Structure 1
Amino acid sequence: MADVNRGNRPLSPHLQVYRLPLTAITSIMNRATGHAMVAGFVLIAFWLLGAAAGGGLWDCANALTRSWFGWIVLVGSCWALWYHFLAGIRHFFFDAGRGLEIETARKSSIAIIAGSVILTLLSLIIYYI
């Protein structure tokens, strides 16, 4: 039997109706950055393997690492590493029962995003100096 009082509401909630809070987005991003760092680790491992093997493998690994694609992967991995690190610190506080208020959690989410971008830029500046 159909619910006559339902009106125009959807049958089940979905992302087009409900907006995820910033804390949920940063929590999802924490998991995603954990997986995304693997790309950078694989590229660095390939580069180190090429350095150890020498010859043609070194030329291939060095060219890949120094290409625009390698630069994007390494910068993205650097950002993911800083983001994951800062989010991990926040989760230590959450585990201790601190910072769980809605406004405090929202501010810490903003701090994680801003901090990861700033630390990535500082890492790039230090690298290029």
Structure 2
Amino acid sequence: MEARSRPLSPHLQVYKPQLTSVLSISHRATGVALSVGTLLFVWWLAAAAAGPEAYDDAQDFIGSWFGMLLLFGWSFCLYYHLCNGIRHLFWDAGYGFELPDAYRSGWMVVGAAGGLTVLSWIVGLAVGG
């Protein structure tokens, strides 16, 4: 069998990123980030069960600038995945397939995720300090 050089289908370097494709990839990425971020939550719970020293170590990490950055990103992922999931439910019901509607709902997802994240952190910091 002679190996023939066949054309490959176009890939990411050929296509210009569009909002719909970027949001679709982001939905998958936030799902993975939520799974990985849940490990931090499980570590915190296990540390709480293990005793005061382990809990203090976990709290020190989570309260550090890097831990807070991870929590901020995790909360954005949570809201983004939630809002985009609701958008997908509308699509499952047959609404929002027209291109202007898809773009409008896409920007609404991004705005709602950002707004809910910031609002949650403002409220959380005001209440919990």
Give the alignment's TM-score, normalised by structure 1.
0.85
The one of 95, 102, 105 equivalent to 2:102 is 105
Asked whether the equivalents of residues 39 and 73 of structure 1 are also in contact (C-alpha less than 8 Å), the reply is no
Q: Distance in 2 between matches of 1:111 and 1:101?
A: 15
Q: CA deviation at 1:16?
A: 3.1
> Gaps (5+ residues) in structure 2?
1-6
Q: What secondary structure sits across from 2:88 in the alignment?
A: helix
* Structure 1 stretches of 4+ moved >6 Å: none
Root-mean-square deviation (Å): 1.8
Q: Distance in 2 between matches of 1:17 and 1:42?
A: 37
Listed as ranges, the matches of 1:1-129 within 5 Å are 12-129=9-126
Structure 1 residues 81-122: Cα deviation after superposition (integer angstroms, max 9, x where no partner): 000000000000111111001111011111111110011000
**Equivalent residue letter for 1:76:** G
Asked whether the equivalents of residues 79 and 116 of structure 1 are also in contact (C-alpha less than 8 Å), the reply is yes
Could you tell which deviates more after superposition, 10-19 or 64-73? 10-19
Give the alignment's TM-score, normalised by structure 2.
0.85
The number of equivalent residue pairs is 121
